Chain A
């Protein structure tokens, strides 16, 4: 089989079970694809030995006949996940050389399910960014091109998105704090699911903003997202915020039937200056769901416009505290000190050298909004806004809405280098996605069309808490109706 790496998880699973291919073959094909895709800069730490060893074990399991769905599936792991004995540096200089002695719960679950880690994926430094350009490794590149222009794969899970879209792996893990799974998925024409806060354990994932961070799958299809979500999810006693709830069989919930479901269209997501293409994509999505038998209602989420500023207070506040541990004392980078330098010099030099400008900006913003005298004006007010945003969604769901349809991003993938000098422009990328994190809801980005330049665009569906199964089913309907099959032409 020459196109092994183009397989979906579901397709590969079936092929593996039938004996049409082996995990080793599949893994080797991915490793070869990765070797040939240096220009994408998606994989930043490659683990071929681990991959082939696990492939061998997966083949044995498949042969034995009791392999779970993810068994033998080669995946990429975002660099934010701690992986035992493998560089895990959150794309930051400050964690240079850090090889954890432990494995994150989510990546361990994937190992337990028999999936195969090919390596670690590029991302924005500490998951802070929407274009992958804050990475210490240099940015990943979108396999989709606009003419000759290199585009961002989005961020922060840009390496994951690029790798999946370019068929370097069958799927990848991402994390989403304000849109970091959904935005890059939309920019690369793949599916990205951020589950309900608490569905996946955060244990072993380098923290950005703890009350917002969630891991999720980035896949080629909605079905794959369901399969991979199944393996990643579940209660973890090591994470107090992970929910002690049973994980349903998500794939079995993909019935394709959404008759009688109510889909809300929030008027506040119709932004001034929104490209017409996004507007019409949204309208098409609405029509597709209506045609599939769903009831479409216009709804209001009145506090939406406060979400982005609230997010950019809360996330940096938590980050400023979460990143305090990177001090050069115990692990990672430590600055060379001059004669007579004291402990404060060590902190200052280490952190100045170790953190990139965007991380430093957010640490400073976060420190500022938490400081005495500003706490109430910023942090506390942002928390109140957050509660109101959550209430907006609660009210919508209470009124009978099952899912909410919005654009995933305000534009298609933009050229690299565009947001360098304007962080606020970059932050605006998150305008449709941050509400979901603030409210702790599940959200999924589904590729539904191409813009006039032939670049993928996505729509976002937002579901009720803990109803990922239902959400995936609606997404599955949207995906089928949209019939998105486009692939980037290989140029790398």
Chain B
């Protein structure tokens, strides 16, 4: 019933100098777990704190300090897994990924290589109404974030800020199911949307709370289908990994550039080298960070400081029972319940606050009108002032009251928009404002008739023209509305103008 039928989008095709090429893309998304405390210490995760102020002894890797798992972070990972329709592993384990860097005080990152907490899941990535890509999730594991190295504050020294060290991340690994730059960005948008619904990641990309590593390869048309049939990666091209991107725009630009770079290499008779690359947004290109040969040997092994993480099915069931309605379901329900278009439903469900705002407006009112007002008037106005829905000066109750006045014909559509603006800037009870400022629609036919007579009497020439061309009646309606300050009931004016002109 709520099952939306969809078709997969066409893969992006890039024309090389010799052939057509397709892209194959997989993403590793690092999402910071929405948690007040770090993954293995009680230190705060607050963004923007004084450097090195949110650091516990264990974060600074003081001798003898030990990690203790933050159960809330585990819950958030499970919640995310359930939101991505993934299997939850009741037994998972932590491994150490060893490498040296000053912003990694322990000399290793605690992660989950061998036994991640979340197994296979899926995400439906909407591209257009009726068009969506089902992207398979391979796994989600939890791990520690590193700190921040600052190289540009001093000519001779580097600085290290450990505030981020040990903050919990979820690494969400997709299968190579994404077939173009737009799809890749849409996938991240969808993941972000789902996690924000779930409350497991705030999705703030600017603060680095959501970053993506993108694996890109190119292949000839048909190769991908062969891979799908066999799951044999040899049908696909050599991939490069572009690290650590924190904007949808960069993700798309980097993929586009990287695909063209690889195509040019292959068509030139050269080989794509498997390597890690960085995207330079200033130059709009990717450049090599380290090749496969230079790749770190991370010497993963089970972290002996932590017991395997065992969780109970009943606990998982409790979390599952507490999941909110997710975007796909909510959108389908909006289409069904409110009779709106899928597009409008998408707009209204883009984030949970908007959806909630809309439903508060629509409750007990006409859904379509509510949708129009929220999308066109409210969202338009918010955008103009660069405000989020939670900062809206007009509450759902106020907007609802405006729609009630409109529904009862007490104000016209135009007045309603004026009223909206008044409420936006001044606040107040819409009904009271209408009352106080005499904005009520004039439905007294006597008063309207007088106004119509006046206009007709004053414009004999127009009357003649209108008799020849009834479409000009609209001009009279406009004049009457002007004369009544927009308060006359438009339908009554229409009827009277037509009657008086004998149309």
In the bound complex, do residue B299 and residue A367 qualify as a contact, i.e. CB atoms below 8 Å apart?
A: yes
In the bound complex, do residue A325 and residue B304 qualify as a contact, i.e. CB atoms below 8 Å apart?
A: no
In the bound complex, do residue B307 and residue A317 qualify as a contact, i.e. CB atoms below 8 Å apart?
A: no
In the bound complex, do residue B96 and residue A321 qualify as a contact, i.e. CB atoms below 8 Å apart?
A: yes
Interface string of B29-67 (1 = CB under 8 A from A): 000000000000000000000000000010011111111
Indicate if A95 sits at the interface (CB-CB under 8 A). yes
Q: How many A-B residue pairs have CB under 8 A?
A: 97
In the bound complex, do residue B299 and residue A325 qualify as a contact, i.e. CB atoms below 8 Å apart?
A: no
- How far, in whole Å, are A324 and B98 apart by their CA atoms in the complex? 8
User: Which of B158, B299, B307 is the one whose CB lies under 8 Å from A370?
Assistant: B299
Indicate if B69 sits at the interface (CB-CB under 8 A). yes
User: Which of A98, A240, A323, A375 is the one whose CB lies under 8 Å from B66?
Assistant: A240
Q: How close is A148's CB to chain B, nearest CB, in angstroms?
A: 39
- How far, in whole Å, are A39 and B483 apart by their CA atoms in the complex? 112
Q: How close is B72's CB to chain A, nearest CB, in angstroms?
A: 15
In the bound complex, do residue A317 and residue B301 qualify as a contact, i.e. CB atoms below 8 Å apart?
A: yes
Given A88-B63, A343-B158 in contact, is the A321-B307 Cβ separation under 8 Å?
no
- How far, in whole Å, are A88 and B300 apart by their CA atoms in the complex? 29
Contact residues in A for B60 (Cβ distance below 8 Å): 330
List B residues 300-339 near A (Cβ within 8 Å): 300-301, 304-307
Residue in chain A with minimal CB distance to B58: A238
In the bound complex, do residue A203 and residue B66 qualify as a contact, i.e. CB atoms below 8 Å apart?
A: yes
In the bound complex, do residue A324 and residue B106 qualify as a contact, i.e. CB atoms below 8 Å apart?
A: yes
Given A321-B96, A325-B107 in contact, is the A102-B301 Cβ separation under 8 Å?
no
Indicate if B436 sits at the interface (CB-CB under 8 A). no
Tally of B interface residues using CB under 8 Å: 30
Contact residues in B for A331 (Cβ distance below 8 Å): 62-63
Indicate if A329 sits at the interface (CB-CB under 8 A). yes
In the bound complex, do residue B63 and residue A324 qualify as a contact, i.e. CB atoms below 8 Å apart?
A: no
Residue in chain B with minimal CB distance to A342: B158
5 CB contacts below 8 A, A to B, read A210-B304, A240-B67, A241-B306, A321-B98, A343-B101
Residue in chain B with minimal CB distance to A318: B304
Contact residues in A for B343 (Cβ distance below 8 Å): none
In the bound complex, do residue A102 and residue B105 qualify as a contact, i.e. CB atoms below 8 Å apart?
A: no
In the bound complex, do residue B299 and residue A100 qualify as a contact, i.e. CB atoms below 8 Å apart?
A: no
In the bound complex, do residue A207 and residue B64 qualify as a contact, i.e. CB atoms below 8 Å apart?
A: yes
Indicate if A239 sits at the interface (CB-CB under 8 A). yes
In the bound complex, do residue B63 and residue A98 qualify as a contact, i.e. CB atoms below 8 Å apart?
A: yes
Indicate if B265 sits at the interface (CB-CB under 8 A). no
Indicate if A355 sits at the interface (CB-CB under 8 A). no
Q: How close is A95's CB to chain B, nearest CB, in angstroms?
A: 7
In the bound complex, do residue B307 and residue A238 qualify as a contact, i.e. CB atoms below 8 Å apart?
A: no
In the bound complex, do residue B64 and residue A321 qualify as a contact, i.e. CB atoms below 8 Å apart?
A: no
Q: How close is A156's CB to chain B, nearest CB, in angstroms?
A: 16
In the bound complex, do residue A321 and residue B61 qualify as a contact, i.e. CB atoms below 8 Å apart?
A: no
Indicate if A347 sits at the interface (CB-CB under 8 A). yes
Indicate if B68 sits at the interface (CB-CB under 8 A). yes
- How far, in whole Å, are A205 and B64 apart by their CA atoms in the complex? 5
Interface string of B164-179 (1 = CB under 8 A from A): 0000000000000000
Main secondary structure of the interface of A (DSSP, over half): loop
User: Which of A202, A211, A325 is the one whose CB lies under 8 Å from B61?
Assistant: A325
Residue in chain B with minimal CB distance to A80: B64
User: Which of B68, B69, B106 is the one whose CB lies under 8 Å from A325?
Assistant: B106
- How far, in whole Å, are A20 and B306 apart by their CA atoms in the complex? 47
Indicate if A472 sits at the interface (CB-CB under 8 A). no
Contact residues in B for A343 (Cβ distance below 8 Å): 101-102, 158
In the bound complex, do residue A206 and residue B105 qualify as a contact, i.e. CB atoms below 8 Å apart?
A: no
Indicate if A327 sits at the interface (CB-CB under 8 A). yes
Contact residues in A for B101 (Cβ distance below 8 Å): 343
List A residues 85-119 near B (Cβ within 8 Å): 88, 90, 95, 98, 100-102, 104
In the bound complex, do residue A330 and residue B305 qualify as a contact, i.e. CB atoms below 8 Å apart?
A: no
Please report B residues at the A interface, Cβ cutoff 8 Å.
57, 60-69, 96, 98, 100-102, 105-108, 158, 160, 297, 299-301, 304-307
In the bound complex, do residue B98 and residue A370 qualify as a contact, i.e. CB atoms below 8 Å apart?
A: yes
Counting from the closest, the 5 A-B pairs by CB-CB distance are A324-B107, A210-B304, A370-B299, A211-B304, A325-B61
Residue in chain B with minimal CB distance to A379: B301
In the bound complex, do residue B62 and residue A100 qualify as a contact, i.e. CB atoms below 8 Å apart?
A: yes
**Which residue, of B61, B106, B158, has the highest number of chain A Cβ atoms within 10 A?**
B61
Interface string of A230-244 (1 = CB under 8 A from B): 000000011111000
Residue in chain A with minimal CB distance to B99: A324
Contact residues in B for A209 (Cβ distance below 8 Å): 304
User: Which of B63, B106, B305 is the one whose CB lies under 8 Å from A82?
Assistant: B63
Contact residues in B for A367 (Cβ distance below 8 Å): 299
Residue in chain B with minimal CB distance to A204: B64
Indicate if A255 sits at the interface (CB-CB under 8 A). no
In the bound complex, do residue A241 and residue B299 qualify as a contact, i.e. CB atoms below 8 Å apart?
A: no
Q: A101-B57, A327-B107 are in contact. List 6 more A-B contacts (CB 8 A).
A: A204-B65, A210-B305, A239-B68, A318-B304, A321-B96, A329-B105
Residue in chain B with minimal CB distance to A239: B66
Residue in chain B with minimal CB distance to A317: B301
Given A98-B63, A317-B301 in contact, is the A325-B105 Cβ separation under 8 Å?
yes
Residue in chain B with minimal CB distance to A213: B304
Contact residues in A for B304 (Cβ distance below 8 Å): 209-211, 241, 318
Given A88-B63, A330-B60 in contact, is the A321-B299 Cβ separation under 8 Å?
yes
Q: How close is B88's CB to chain A, nearest CB, in angstroms?
A: 21
Interface string of A181-224 (1 = CB under 8 A from B): 00000000000000000000011111101110000000000000
Indicate if A372 sits at the interface (CB-CB under 8 A). yes
User: Which of B67, B69, B108 is the one whose CB lies under 8 Å from A324?
Assistant: B108
- How far, in whole Å, are A379 and B301 apart by their CA atoms in the complex? 9
List A residues 236-268 near B (Cβ within 8 Å): 237-241
Indicate if A371 sits at the interface (CB-CB under 8 A). yes
Contact residues in A for B297 (Cβ distance below 8 Å): 371-372
Q: How close is B101's CB to chain A, nearest CB, in angstroms?
A: 8
Given A238-B68, A240-B306, A321-B301 in contact, is the A95-B108 Cβ separation under 8 Å?
no
**Which residue, of A104, A209, A343, has the highest number of chain B Cβ atoms within 10 A?**
A343
**Which residue, of A82, A101, A329, has the highest number of chain B Cβ atoms within 10 A?**
A329
Contact residues in B for A320 (Cβ distance below 8 Å): 98, 299
Residue in chain B with minimal CB distance to A98: B63
Contact residues in B for A102 (Cβ distance below 8 Å): 57, 62
Residue in chain B with minimal CB distance to A332: B63
Q: How close is B21's CB to chain A, nearest CB, in angstroms?
A: 32
Given A240-B306, A240-B307, A379-B301 in contact, is the A330-B61 Cβ separation under 8 Å?
yes
Contact residues in B for A88 (Cβ distance below 8 Å): 63
In the bound complex, do residue B102 and residue A237 qualify as a contact, i.e. CB atoms below 8 Å apart?
A: no
Residue in chain B with minimal CB distance to A324: B107
In the bound complex, do residue A327 and residue B307 qualify as a contact, i.e. CB atoms below 8 Å apart?
A: no
Given A240-B305, A347-B100 in contact, is the A321-B107 Cβ separation under 8 Å?
yes
**Which residue, of B64, B297, B304, B305, has the highest number of chain A Cβ atoms within 10 A?**
B64
User: Which of A95, A239, A370, A372 is the one whose CB lies under 8 Å from B63?
Assistant: A95
- How far, in whole Å, are A329 and B98 apart by their CA atoms in the complex? 17
In the bound complex, do residue A241 and residue B107 qualify as a contact, i.e. CB atoms below 8 Å apart?
A: no
Contact residues in A for B108 (Cβ distance below 8 Å): 321, 324
Contact residues in A for B102 (Cβ distance below 8 Å): 327, 329, 343
Given A240-B305, A321-B108, A370-B299 in contact, is the A82-B98 Cβ separation under 8 Å?
no
- How far, in whole Å, are A82 and B66 apart by their CA atoms in the complex? 13
**Which residue, of B60, B102, B306, has the highest number of chain A Cβ atoms within 10 A?**
B102
**Which residue, of B60, B62, B300, B304, has the highest number of chain A Cβ atoms within 10 A?**
B304
Contact residues in A for B69 (Cβ distance below 8 Å): 240
List A residues 288-333 near B (Cβ within 8 Å): 317-318, 320-321, 323-325, 327, 329-331
- How far, in whole Å, are A241 and B69 apart by their CA atoms in the complex? 12
In the bound complex, do residue B66 and residue A202 qualify as a contact, i.e. CB atoms below 8 Å apart?
A: yes
User: Which of B64, B98, B307 is the one whose CB lies under 8 Å from A241?
Assistant: B307
In the bound complex, do residue B63 and residue A206 qualify as a contact, i.e. CB atoms below 8 Å apart?
A: yes
Residue in chain A with minimal CB distance to B96: A321
Contact residues in B for A241 (Cβ distance below 8 Å): 304-307
Contact residues in A for B160 (Cβ distance below 8 Å): 329
In the bound complex, do residue A324 and residue B100 qualify as a contact, i.e. CB atoms below 8 Å apart?
A: yes
Q: How close is B56's CB to chain A, nearest CB, in angstroms?
A: 11
